[in-house]
Structure 1
Amino acid sequence: MLVSCGIYNDIAKTAYLVKQQQQQQQQQQQGGQAAAGGQRGKGAGPAGPGGLEDVAQEVYRVVLFCVFFAEVNLLGKLPVAGAALNVLLLSWLYAYYCYDYKWGLQGVHLTERLAYFERRWAFFSGFGLPMALATVLLSFYVGAAVLAVLFPVFILVACDSDVNAAHDRVVGPGGAAQLRHLPIFALALWPTQRIVRAVTGTGGGAAGAGGGK
């Protein structure tokens, strides 16, 4: 699993660079050289003081998703609705992991990632569903093997996909804006802030994920 994590990161970097090269070539063909590379700077912050802030954000992100994963397991043990909740939450978890590589390379801040994800919850639930079903329906080792094959493929899809365009095709123009914001991570944010505050002696940096773009 540790080796795979390093490989997944390399896959995401390569796919992201290829996607940027394709976009630059298209822009040059259309005479839009001035817009080439416009996506690179989104939320990227300055090089100097951003270093420590990036580390703090990464620590917060790790704690948040450890807490969220624990909640997924706990809610999965509930009677009647537990199995369905487990599949749904795992779908969101795997989908976030896949897109997190892309957002990290784009320099998108954690609060912006969470807000974007919670506004487009329907798309991401469907995106992560095949991986969640592989985990739930198959035995542990078989499911882990299938997931290890599916996950890098879905990272490639995430790096190449346009979530807003997918919403527009299904729901119509501005489809993402028609969905209500769903606070998927709200339950995990409070204990995360408590844990980070206890460890660092400061307030948690990425407080809510409300309002998405």
Structure 2
Amino acid sequence: MSLKEIFICAGKGLGDSLKGIYWLYSLDNVQRRAQQERQEFQELSGKQRQQQKQQNKPSPRHHHGKEEPRLLNRVMQCCTLNGIVFGLSIVLFKSVLLPVLETLLSLLSTTNSTTSTFWSWLQFLLHLTFDGLWVLPLFLLSRIVNALWFQDIGSLAYRYSLGRPKTTQSLSTLIADNLFSLIIQALFLVQALLLNYTLPHLLGGWISALIFHTHTSLLYSLYSFEYKWVQMGMPLHQRLNYLESNWPYFIGFGLPLSILTGYYGDWVVSGCIFAVSFPVFIIAGNEGEVRKWGEASPSGGGHQEGIRLKLFSLVVWISNGIFKGIGRETSLPEKKIVNKKR
């Protein structure tokens, strides 16, 4: 392993994440052509049924299911809800409405001290009203809608790129897998936030920022690729093993989203940025080809095992402790993740 290999793999991941928009339009064109072919087939079938009806012959029944959404339309809906309806309203409230009211209040008032006191209370009440009546309800609603739309985007991208999902898991195993995945992702995010708040006091600021972005880049890569991996039938321990074993690629892949969401201190604005950008990363994760250790070696000496970055070991151990006693069928032993060979 060398620094050159790490940067080449990370650069491949970064390049794949930035090609998400190109892949979005490519897959949307594939879906559009497939829908046109289905529509032409249905029109032809309709004409045949009409001819059979005129000849008094029984025609076979055709069940028309609900028309599937367009991939590009789903992405645009995410951008509209999270970027325009939600995000732009927050920007207008903080950057336009509040400064205008403060300016008007200062022009109407005669004493600066009274204006300052009154404005501090008015600003607090306005923030409280806006957050309670608009931000919080819309945030909760958007989380639910986004989850459904993200699933649609992941399913459509997989179907028009890789074919039918390989759903070999039983329902109970699938539910347990998703539950463990949510818990592990939540704990890993808490781990990243705790390190981000504690490490600046122990280490330099740039070191703590590097560690934080490493965590969030891996987490966002897991978010993006999980739609593909689940439909491929990969269990959770295999997904985490694959992520930790090829961490340079996944750090490079998730780095743009990590920087975009980490730029603003406001978690609501960061959530809007994530929701607007994430659909493109889902598609990029579906189309991206992971560059593994040894493939970047200029000597061409075959695949070489790289150093594994075991950042998920602690949260897996905690998750196993939380769910201990549920049973072997639904538990995720930590040793499986540690000792699993690729």
* Counterpart-to-counterpart distance in 1, 2:153 and 2:145: 13
Instruction: Decide whether the 8 Å contact of 2:293 with 2:305 is kept in 1.
Output: no
Instruction: Decide whether the 8 Å contact of 1:120 with 1:176 is kept in 2.
Output: no
Aligned CA distance change for structure 1 residues 186 and 62 (closer, same or farther; 3 Å): same
Are 1:7 and 2:152 counterparts? Answer: no
Aligned match of 1:104: 230
Instruction: Decide whether the 8 Å contact of 1:116 with 1:212 is kept in 2.
Output: no
Are 1:89 and 2:218 counterparts? Answer: no
Aligned CA distance change for structure 1 residues 67 and 175 (closer, same or farther; 3 Å): farther
Are 1:45 and 2:168 counterparts? Answer: yes
| Aligned with 1:144 (options 261, 271, 283) | 271
Aligned CA distance change for structure 1 residues 188 and 107 (closer, same or farther; 3 Å): same
Give unpaired runs (5+ residues) of structure 2: 1-142
CA shift, 1:201, in A, is 4.5
Aligned match of 2:254: 128
**Which residue type is aligned with residue 16 of structure 1?**
Y
Map 1:1-213 to 2 at 5 A.
Answer: 1-21=143-163, 40-41=165-166, 44-45=167-168, 50-77=170-197, 78-79=199-200, 80=204, 81-140=207-266, 141-164=268-291, 168=295, 170-171=296-297, 177-197=304-324, 201-202=326-327, 205-208=331-334, 209-210=337-338, 211-213=340-342
* Counterpart-to-counterpart distance in 2, 1:176 and 1:129: 25
SS of equivalent to 2:224: helix
Aligned CA distance change for structure 1 residues 167 and 160 (closer, same or farther; 3 Å): farther
CA shift, 1:62, in A, is 1.5
CA shift, 1:165, in A, is 7.2
Aligned CA distance change for structure 1 residues 19 and 167 (closer, same or farther; 3 Å): farther
* Counterpart-to-counterpart distance in 2, 1:93 and 1:73: 12
**Which residue type is aligned with residue 168 of structure 2?**
G
The worse-fitting range, judged by mean Cα deviation, of 3-12 and 140-149 is 140-149
**Which residue type is aligned with residue 253 of structure 2?**
F
Give unpaired runs (5+ residues) of structure 1: 22-36
SS of equivalent to 2:156: helix
Aligned match of 1:30: none
The worse-fitting range, judged by mean Cα deviation, of 200-209 and 6-15 is 200-209
- Normalised by the size of structure 2, how large is the TM-score? 0.50
CA shift, 1:143, in A, is 2.9
* Counterpart-to-counterpart distance in 2, 1:58 and 1:174: 38
SS of equivalent to 2:333: coil
**Which residue type is aligned with residue 18 of structure 1?**
Y
Instruction: Decide whether the 8 Å contact of 1:123 with 1:163 is kept in 2.
Output: yes
What are the Cα deviations for residues 120-149 of structure 1, in whole angstroms up to 9, with x where unaligned? 001000100011111111242443332222
- Normalised by the size of structure 1, how large is the TM-score? 0.78
Aligned CA distance change for structure 1 residues 118 and 15 (closer, same or farther; 3 Å): same
